[in-house]
Structures are given as C-alpha cells and as structure tokens.
C-alpha cells in the first residue's frame, strides 16, 4: 500500500523534466508522493479513475502538469474533492500562455490552484504548505527552507558589495 | 480559532470579493476581511498578516488588480498557503494582475485562481478544500455542493434542451 500524500501527474512524459521538481521538493520535505502519466485526451478513463480514487487512496493534494490545451488539472479537479494544483508547462508555441489560461480560468465552484508557467518547484512547495496548514513540524521545515533562501540572497548581496560587478558577472558565467 | 483571512488591496475590490465572503457565509466558515494595500499601506499589511497568523489564520486570500503584488508579498511573510485572486481593474482586463500574481519566483508560491468573480468564488472553494483536509464536516458539505451543482446543470439544460427520441 502506498502512503503517498501528494499525487504528481502529467499529461505526457515530455513534462517530466519540468515536473520532476515537484518530486524533488517532496523528497526534500520528506513527503511521500506518487508520480504518473495521465493524459486528459489520450487516457480519459484513467484520468477519471485516478481522480475519483485519489481521496480514498489517502492522497491529500494532487499536482497536475500539462502543456498546450492543458485540460488535465481542471478535469482532475472536477472529479475529486481534493485541492488540485495546476502547473502550466511551456510548449513549443505560445510560451505556455495557452496552458496558463486554460488552467487558471476555471468556472466558479471548481478551483485549480495555479502556479507560474513551468512553476513545478512552487507547486511542490504549495502542496507542502497545504499539508502543512494542519502539520506544525512540516511548517517548521518550510520555514527553515525559506530562511535558507534568504541567507543565499544575503550571501550574494554581500559578495556584490565586495567584488566589482564585472568580476561578479564573470564568475556567474563559469 | 481556525479561520481564513481575506485581504484586498482596495475598496473597489470588495464588490467582486463579496462573492468570496458570501461563499464562506454559505458554508459557515469563519473568516476575516480587511483592506490593506502593498503599495499604499505596506506596514499595515505586514503587521496584519503576523497578527492574523497568531490568531489562527489557516489560509490567506489576497485580491488585487493591476501590478498585483499583494499575494506575493503575503507569500513572502508566511508559510501558510496564499491564494491570489487577480482583479480586473485596468485597461488590461485583469491579465496584468493575473501575470503578476501567478508568475512568482521559486520558493514563494501563490495559488492563483481565475480573474474576477469566478476567481473570488473559487478562492473560497480552494480555501475550504484545504481546510477540509482536516475537517470532515466541511468535506461532506463540499461534496454535497458538488452534487447540487451537477443537478443545477441538468435543471438549466431542461429549460432549453432539445432531444431527438
């Protein structure tokens, strides 16, 4: 029996290089996850059975990534009471704007929590925050993660004050 | 007490965001609602979010138009989930607010919903879905609501439908 709390699905394996960032975040925060390919248009029955069984299987959040017409997150949201996070995946044309609009512009009553185009990392963090809304120890891990990001920016800021900007740029290119 | 906090950038957002608070009223979910602007009252925004979190805010909803920085700023101040509602408040019909709400850098997510009224309603539904993970009574209410919405579509269709027998 899988004890996955986060279900990560994507419309195509071509989305995996982007969507793997969700899995990395779950690993970083120690959240069990499952990963699968579910296409709204090519495997519609699988989509329905996946979404309808999600709650019963113990999932708390579903992250769905898709490009193009990107119907996957919205269709999944319509078949489950769980929060669904949508990741618009940038395709070859329209720069992901097509996917962003079809994921975010859901009708009233069936929300999809949309993140930035290719924003898979934030989708993972958002899933952690949603689970963390009722889990103090997970919230502490997220707080520590944010603090680490702050320290990284502080370190860069200090370096920029110390070295000439041209040298900073040269080192960035390495 | 657990509750949802609704913050809007301007009084003009209230007309649309009332759909959000009305949805909470309909489901009997506790909420707070204030106006606080990222650009015009930055200190108030920061102080409020800290106070609200101490009091038990579980989820924050931020509604703003134009250069809509409110949701992103809230996200940088808390690890509670932030839902962003882009308002249509300029010549760009909300696309400006949508992009500045959704395109957050990695590390500070904003759960973005649709522009305007549909988004205001969905921000409440999304917040309730999050609360329902830890509240069975609310989870049941949300399921019943889905069923009644499906019935409403059938009723709407009945009024105009033409079927060949």
pLDDT in tens, A60-84: 999 999 999 999 999 999 999 999 9
Q: What residues contact residue B55 under an 8 Å CB cut-off, 6+ apart?
A: B1, B3
pLDDT in tens, A113-135: 999 999 999 999 999 999 999 89
B interface residues, A as partner, C-beta within 8 Å = 19, 58-59, 79-81, 83, 98, 102-104, 106-115, 117-118, 121-123, 125-126, 129-134, 139, 142-143, 145-146, 149
pLDDT computed for residue B38 by the predictor: 92
Is the same domain home to A162 and A122? no
Domain layout of chain B by residue ranges: 3-135
- What CATH number corresponds to the domain at position A69? 3.40.50.1970
Total tally of structural domains belonging to chain A: 2
| pLDDT at residue A37 tops 80 | yes
Strands B82-87 and B31-35: unpaired
Task: From residue A146, give the alpha-carbon distance in Å to each of A97, B123, B160.
Answer: 28, 24, 54
Is the same domain home to A31 and A113? yes
| pLDDT at residue A1 tops 80 | no
Q: What is the mean pLDDT of residues A81-101?
A: 96
Give the global pTM: 0.94
Question: For the packed helices B14-27 and B136-160, what is the interaxial angle rounded to 10 degrees?
Answer: 110
| pLDDT at residue A32 tops 90 | yes
Is the same domain home to A124 and A143? no
Is the same domain home to A98 and A160? no
Q: Distance (Å, rounded) from C-alpha A115 to C-alpha A104?
A: 9
Q: Distance (Å, rounded) from C-alpha B83 to C-alpha B109?
A: 9
A89 CB within 8 Å of a chain B CB: no
- What is the span of the domain harbouring residue A71? 6-134
Is the same domain home to A54 and A72? yes
A59 CB within 8 Å of a chain B CB: no
Structure tokens at A10: 């994507």
CB-CB under 8 Å, A107 with B79: no
Taking alpha carbons only, the member of A57, A76, A107 closest to residue B118 is A107
Give contacts of A 30-49 with B, CB under 8 A: none
Taking alpha carbons only, the member of B40, B10, B86 closest to residue A114 is B86
Q: Distance (Å, rounded) from C-alpha B50 to C-alpha B71?
A: 14
Around Cβ A57, how many Cβ atoms within 10 Å? 13
Query: What is the enclosing helix (H) or strand (E) of A149?
Result: helix A136-162
Is the same domain home to A31 and A92? yes
pLDDT computed for residue A173 by the predictor: 87
Is the same domain home to A64 and A144? no
Residue A2's pLDDT band (boundaries 50, 70, 90)? Answer: low
CB-CB under 8 Å, B106 with A133: no
| pLDDT at residue A27 tops 70 | yes
CA distance A158 to chain B (A): 21
A80 CB within 8 Å of a chain B CB: no
> Over chain B (165 residues), what is each successive 10-residue block's mean pLDDT?
96 97 98 96 95 96 96 95 96 95 96 98 98 97 96 96 95
| Fold of the domain built from segment(s) B3-135 | Rossmann fold (3.40.50)
The whole-chain average pLDDT of chain A stands at 96
């Amino acid at each position: 029996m899988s004890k996955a709390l986060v279900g990560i699905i994507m419309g195509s394996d071509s989305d995996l290089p982007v969507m793997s960032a969700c899995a990395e975040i779950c690993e970083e925060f120690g959240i069990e996850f499952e990963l699968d390919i579910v296409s709204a248009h090519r495997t519609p029955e699988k989509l329905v059975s996946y979404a309808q069984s999600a709650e019963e299987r113990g999932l708390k959040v579903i992250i769905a990534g898709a490009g193009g017409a990107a119907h996957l997150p919205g269709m999944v949201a319509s078949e489950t009471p769980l929060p669904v996070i949508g990741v618009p995946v940038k395709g070859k044309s329209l720069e992901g704007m097509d996917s962003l609009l079809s994921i975010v512009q859901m009708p009233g009553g069936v929300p999809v929590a949309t993140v930035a185009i290719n924003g898979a990392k934030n989708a993972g963090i958002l899933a952690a925050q949603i689970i963390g809304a009722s889990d103090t120890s997970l919230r502490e891990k997220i707080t520590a993660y944010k603090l680490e990001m702050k320290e990284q920016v502080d370190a860069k800021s200090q370096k920029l004050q110390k070295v000439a900007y041209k040298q900073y740029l040269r080192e960035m290119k390495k | 007490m657990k509750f949802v906090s609704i913050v809007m950038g301007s009084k003009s957002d209230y007309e649309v965001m009332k759909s959000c608070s009305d949805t909470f009223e309909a489901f009997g979910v506790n909420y707070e609602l204030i106006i606080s602007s990222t650009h015009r009252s930055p200190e108030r925004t920061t102080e409020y979010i800290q106070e609200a979190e101490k009091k038990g805010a579980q989820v924050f909803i931020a509604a703003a138009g134009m250069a809509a920085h409110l949701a992103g700023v809230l996200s940088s101040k808390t690890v509670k989930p932030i839902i962003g509602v882009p308002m249509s408040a300029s010549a760009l019909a909300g696309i400006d607010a949508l992009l500045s709400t959704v395109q957050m850098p990695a590390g500070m997510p904003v759960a973005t919903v649709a522009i305007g009224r549909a988004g205001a309603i969905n921000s409440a539904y999304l917040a309730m879905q999050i609360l329902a993970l830890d509240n069975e009574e609310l989870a049941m209410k949300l399921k019943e609501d889905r069923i009644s919405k499906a019935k409403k579509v059938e009723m709407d269709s009945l009024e105009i439908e033409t079927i060949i027998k």
